[in-house]
Amino acid sequence: MEDSLRLLQTITHAIDDKLGQDIVALKVSQLTPLADYFVICSARNDRQVDAITEAVIEEVYKAGYAIKNIEGRSTNQWVLVDCLDVIVHIFGPDERAHYNVEKLWADAPILSPKEMGLGE
């Protein structure tokens, strides 16, 4: 779990560097075997969704982690980056409210900005 936390922090830094908005990390390890964490963020437009996606991919590989799959790049409305222990959801301006992933996983603890490796 400690290694997946480092991966999560790598991802949140990449998102923050590209000015991703409303970054939320959910600890889902006790709720699903899919991953230890979900990271959710919003972007202002399609171009920013793409920029955040590229930054996440680059930083994950640079840190020595793997990516299993990437979905949604053709539309840049909701991109999912499956980094095995951490699944990243990058939403365009309208999609986040529509799909409401946080509500679907409401039982999952939310990490603080400090736990995500971000300044408070």
Residue 118 lies in a domain: no
* Backbone angles phi and psi of 27, in degrees to 5: -90, 105
Task: Provide the whole-model pTM.
Answer: 0.92
pLDDT the model gives residue 97: 81
Mean pLDDT by 10 residues, the chain (120 residues): 89 96 94 94 95 97 96 91 96 86 86 83
Domain that holds residue 54: 2-104
CATH code of residue 99: 3.30.460.10
Residue 40 lies in a domain: yes
pLDDT the model gives residue 120: 56
Residue 119 lies in a domain: no
Please list, residue by residue across 28-42, b when 16 or more beta carbons sit within 10 angstroms of its beta carbon and e when fewer do: bbeeeeebbbbbbbb
The region, left, alpha or beta by phi > 0 then psi within -120 to 50, assigned to residue 75 is: alpha
